Structure 1
Amino acid sequence: MSAVPELRITLAGAERVVAEGTTYGEALQADGRSVVAARANGELRDLAARVAEGDEVEPVEVGSPDGRAIVRHSTAHVMAQAVQELFPEAKLGIGPPVDNGFYYDFDVKNPFTPEDLKRVEKRMREIVKQGQIFSRRPVSDEDALEELAAEPYKLELIGLKGGAGAQADGADVEVGGAELTIYDNLDPKTGDLCWKDLCRGPHVPTTRSIPAFKLMRSGGAYWRGSEKNPQLQRIYGTAWESRDKQDEYLHMLEEAEKRDHRRLGAELDLFSFPSELGSGLPVFHPKGGIIRKEMEDYMRRRQGEAGYEFVNTPHITKSQLFETSGHLPWYAEDMFPPFELEGVEYRVKPMNCPMHNLIFRARGRSYRELPLRLCEFGSVYRYEKSGVVHGLTRVRGMTQDDSHIYCTREQMVGEIKSLLTFVLSVLRDFGLSEFYLELSTRDDSDKFIGDPADWDEATDALRQTALESGLELVDDPGGAAFYGPKISVQAKDAIGRTWQLSTIQLDLNQPKRFELEYQAADGSRQTPVMIHRALFGSIERFLGVLTEHYAGAFPPWLAPVQVVGIPIAEAHASYLQDVAKRARERGIRIEVDASDDRMQKKIRNAQKSKVPFMLLAGDEDIANGAVSFRFRNGEQKNGVPVDEAINEIVDAIERRIQV
């Protein structure tokens, strides 16, 4: 009897010998619960797949990013199976994992109702309990077309195999590969087919490997993201490695709903979105205007101290400007349509950088002027699709705190380091303290312009700066702007959500396209390096983020109303008006509530308006030239001399502390 052939693999850094036919699950001794897949030579594989000679094998744990994605993708399949069992006429779209969950699109006659989702979730739990086996099998294009003849959207994806379209839609087709695969869901007792789907995988071994899930909501979604295609019904869900982790996430969602800046904006009278103006075009009310002004005043001061020079540019320009910059071929869909004036095509501007290039080019420049730091609070307009417009965080009209720095190649690394330090210090002043960095680079796409050597130099400079910062660095291949790589500062808010805020982009291409030059020390003409820096991203979006971070309870320096004076009785109002006059002389934003409401209701109104401080006064306070000093959290100090109270408020404002 001949011996079973052996294979050599590397497992956890050590070489091992296993029998031919050994699966990754067997090699890893995986139970399908804590470890749900394998990474072989850098690629994710099913635990049921067989090892090959020379494989370098690592476990994919259920709580890792890849593990969660696999659990969520598998849960999407379970959901699609449940939907087709309950709604046999449903046709399948796509069902990828996404941040914190998954979705699947269906073509059904009627939109799903909340009761429908309850039925689907109940059936999903039965499928999970059954322990159906996820079994992968390769198929030819012809066989796939025959097997899925009743699924028109899957047939379309098969036709896209190898094309960019399928990949862009998150489709379950092996894009660019020669092989299609179908996953069968098999009955664990009989081996009978329960359901199948076109999918590249991998998946968890069985449905019992799905620890926790919940369906969240449903809504409409255009097939492959195009308004020209049919509208399907999308069901969203979430899935996690444990019930505890899912409960944490659901609690965070509850907190996020309480902090929704759209609701708080209305309750606190900060901003609104009049339908008469159009989608994504907010207006700021006086109190919201105060916050914006404080943000802008702060940035004007900080940028002035850092050597920036303020410029101003118009809202519209000839379209040709964006041909020169290179934006038009890649960005046209995100611009508002052009319009014609005097036989010339114009556009409203979606970005400020081309106009800043014209300012640099307006006269001769010397190396002695560099680095030249131009900045602007520039209004820009972008045509966001109506389905993605969201409050202040995704708008069509915005104000960018935009800056463009022109420097020599020798100054480049030092300037980037200085910029990152500046950005982080500003974000900390606004109360954000947890950050990591994302480095967006080019890939093989044809959207990226310029010399690859320039890209390498720019990417190395950004990577060096990011690593020296000591912050965690995450790579984002293919996420760069068409003209250059960028560092994005990702900040966590008070409930742990991550927001992309400041960006630093290194651009060695636009200066060449605009023929920008400066005279070097040796008299030669050189091309400057251009650095794009948006600190807030946009004032609108950053204000939306801050509103949710603080749940509307802004720190005193940003609060529209910093103090409310509350007389215990009507006779005490004039005393507090005098206190308010003294406070205003120190720059404090103070109001006196002289309404007919009872004192306790006035306190509740101030608390509801999230005012940082309240100053109360009665007979005893007036006799002693004092106030009762009440804080937003309910704490109170009685008999505080007026000057002492005002000094404490001014100190809190100047130190930008939260109370």
Structure 2
Amino acid sequence: MMNEFDHRVLGAKYDLFSFFEEGPGFPVWHEKGLRIKNALIEFWRKLHAESGYVEIQSPIMLDKELWKRSGHCDYFEENMYFSSVDKRDFAIKPMNCPGAILVFNQKKRSHAELPLRICELGHVHRHENSGSLHGLMRVRSFVQDDAHIFCNRNQLLQEIKDVIRLIEKIMNQCGLKDYHFELSLRGGEKEYLGSDEDWAMAEGKLEEALRDLNYSVKKNPGEAKFYGPSLDLHLKDVHGRSWQCSSVQLDFNLPKRFNVHYFDEKGERQVPYMLHRAIYGSLERFIGILLENYGKDLPFWFHPVQYKILNIAEESREYSLRVASVLRNKGFKVELDLSDRPLKEKIRRAHDELIHSLIIIGKKEMESGNIVMRSLKGEDQKVIALNALQFDDFS
């Protein structure tokens, strides 16, 4: 049953996103929804830059032969979209891996460049059964915060542990603490690429990283991807449901398939190991989880309307406009109410909207150069000089 903590209800009520019959499973983001999405992306980019990643953007559509070579057409073709241009077959990317490989292979690589961490906010498309579509939680078009790390065997363990620490930072920033990791291993009747020795090494490295960071190890035989085992974060939402978000996958197959190599200290060709990893996973699904966890009380840092300015006097109208301009230049997300409605009505309306804090401006504030700021989470009220306002005053 839909309720106030259903992200679909919140998305419609607060004008965040829409779905249309013309594109089932393809979300359309509105301005306020994009503010949330872009805040998460901005934080993600900051952390990745600090962690030594380089960001790329690969095409949405690439030659189908690339996806045959990668093995995706063998294992995933029924979930892919295709097109034909100039008598040449193309696939709309369901994953970002080949783009990172093309970038790695576009020039000669030295051992001194490893580990090379290539990240991408890739827009991917996967065909989901229409009956399984569910708001942002199950879509056919989404942004995946991918990264592909090329390294040698001696660097593997440290890189896996660094990814886990990066996951911890992002989950902590988003206020998400109810999660655990599971190991997806080879098993059952499925077909897998690679040798038994490769699989034993890869599964061992992922388990060792977990144990070194004092996480318990839950193993899921038969759940590994066709190209390698994975370490998956399972996040519990406010409804008690579990969602698989972050993932670290160790791949020893694609580098061989695409002739990926670097030159070691002796000038000899070596094949690197490749880590696939995502943290938000699907950015759309992650936002759906955040909306349902927080309802309308979203944290300040990714709130779509951090301040709403309520002007209460005709004389202060121009000052209110100037305050809005100053705040926007500082990076805040601001809306204005310049109507002549009574203050009580303006405040009541603000309570019914997705607003974090109010700024009340009248003749007194205009003359003093101050603003009155009130959080809608409580009755806290502050009088602050406009030039002294900081980003974390109500964070």
One fold, TM greater than 0.5? yes
1:551 Cα deviation from its structure 2 partner = 1.0
* Closer/same/farther in 2, CA of residues 575 and 307 from structure 1, 3 Å limit: same
- Aligned partners of 2:85 and 2:365: how far apart in 1? 67
1:480 Cα deviation from its structure 2 partner = 0.9
**Equivalent residue of 1:448, what SS?**
coil
1:521 Cα deviation from its structure 2 partner = 1.5
- Aligned partners of 1:476 and 1:497: how far apart in 2? 18
Equivalent residue, structure 2, for 1:557: 301
Tell me, yes or no, if structure 1 residue 470 matches structure 2 residue 214: yes
Unaligned runs of 5+ in 2: none
1:619 Cα deviation from its structure 2 partner = 5.1
> Which letter maps to 2:380?
Q
Equivalent residue, structure 2, for 1:283: 28
Equivalent residue, structure 2, for 1:297: 42
1:533 to 261, 274, 277: 277
CA contact (8 A) 1:436 1:473 kept: no
Tell me, yes or no, if structure 1 residue 384 matches structure 2 residue 384: no
**Equivalent residue of 1:279, what SS?**
coil
* Closer/same/farther in 2, CA of residues 582 and 315 from structure 1, 3 Å limit: closer
Tell me, yes or no, if structure 1 residue 375 matches structure 2 residue 116: no
* Closer/same/farther in 2, CA of residues 578 and 347 from structure 1, 3 Å limit: closer
1:494 Cα deviation from its structure 2 partner = 4.4
Greater RCO (CA < 8 Å, at least 6 residues apart): 2
Equivalent residue, structure 2, for 1:306: 51
Tell me, yes or no, if structure 1 residue 580 matches structure 2 residue 321: no
- Aligned partners of 1:315 and 1:580: how far apart in 2? 38
Instruction: Give the 5 Å matches for 1:111-122.
Output: none
Instruction: Give the 5 Å matches for 1:233-632.
Output: 257-276=3-22, 278-336=23-81, 338-494=82-238, 496-618=240-362, 620-622=364-366, 624-632=368-376
> Which letter maps to 1:359?
V
Q: Deviations over 1:370-418 (max 9, x none)?
A: 0111111111110011011111111111111111000001111111011
- Aligned partners of 1:520 and 1:449: how far apart in 2? 26
* Closer/same/farther in 2, CA of residues 472 and 600 from structure 1, 3 Å limit: farther
Equivalent residue, structure 2, for 1:140: none
Aligned Cα root-mean-square deviation (Å): 2.1
Q: Deviations over 1:558-611 (max 9, x none)?
A: 112111112345554444334333333432222221124332222122222231
- Aligned partners of 1:624 and 1:459: how far apart in 2? 65
1:495 Cα deviation from its structure 2 partner = 5.1
- Aligned partners of 1:509 and 1:351: how far apart in 2? 16
1:347 Cα deviation from its structure 2 partner = 1.4
> Which letter maps to 1:646?
L
- Aligned partners of 1:652 and 1:380: how far apart in 2? 37
**Equivalent residue of 1:258, what SS?**
coil
**Equivalent residue of 1:476, what SS?**
strand
1:618 Cα deviation from its structure 2 partner = 4.3
**Equivalent residue of 2:131, what SS?**
coil
**Percent identical residues:** 38
Greater C-alpha Rg: 1
Q: Deviations over 1:338-362 (max 9, x none)?
A: 3333333221111110222122222
CA contact (8 A) 1:489 1:502 kept: yes
CA contact (8 A) 1:579 1:642 kept: no
> Which letter maps to 1:285?
H
- Aligned partners of 2:353 and 2:60: how far apart in 1? 36
Equivalent residue, structure 2, for 1:58: none
* Closer/same/farther in 2, CA of residues 574 and 324 from structure 1, 3 Å limit: same
Q: Deviations over 1:158-212 (max 9, x none)?
A: xxxxxxxxxxxxxxxxxxxxxxxxxxxxxxxxxxxxxxxxxxxxxxxxxxxxxxx
* Closer/same/farther in 2, CA of residues 466 and 626 from structure 1, 3 Å limit: same
* Closer/same/farther in 2, CA of residues 622 and 312 from structure 1, 3 Å limit: closer
CA contact (8 A) 2:67 2:91 kept: no
- Aligned partners of 1:345 and 1:550: how far apart in 2? 44
CA contact (8 A) 2:323 2:386 kept: no
**Equivalent residue of 1:536, what SS?**
strand
> Which letter maps to 2:212?
E
**Equivalent residue of 2:143, what SS?**
strand
What is the number of equivalent residue pairs in this alignment? Answer: 395
1:469 Cα deviation from its structure 2 partner = 2.1
1:447 Cα deviation from its structure 2 partner = 2.2
1:550 Cα deviation from its structure 2 partner = 1.5
Unaligned runs of 5+ in 1: 1-253
- Aligned partners of 2:137 and 2:39: how far apart in 1? 19
Q: Please, what TM-score do these two structures have when normalized by structure 2?
A: 0.93
- Aligned partners of 1:312 and 1:587: how far apart in 2? 25
- Aligned partners of 1:314 and 1:619: how far apart in 2? 54
Q: Please, what TM-score do these two structures have when normalized by structure 1?
A: 0.57
> Which letter maps to 1:301?
K
- Bigger drift between 585-594 and 279-288 goes to 585-594
CA contact (8 A) 2:187 2:221 kept: yes
1:280 Cα deviation from its structure 2 partner = 0.7
Q: Deviations over 1:475-522 (max 9, x none)?
A: 222111111111111223445443221110011111111121111123
Q: Deviations over 1:68-106 (max 9, x none)?
A: xxxxxxxxxxxxxxxxxxxxxxxxxxxxxxxxxxxxxxx
Equivalent residue, structure 1, for 2:392: 651
> Which letter maps to 1:356?
A
1:644 Cα deviation from its structure 2 partner = 8.1
- Aligned partners of 1:470 and 1:580: how far apart in 2? 48
1:641 to 373, 384, 392: 384
CA contact (8 A) 1:288 1:560 kept: yes
Equivalent residue, structure 2, for 1:212: none
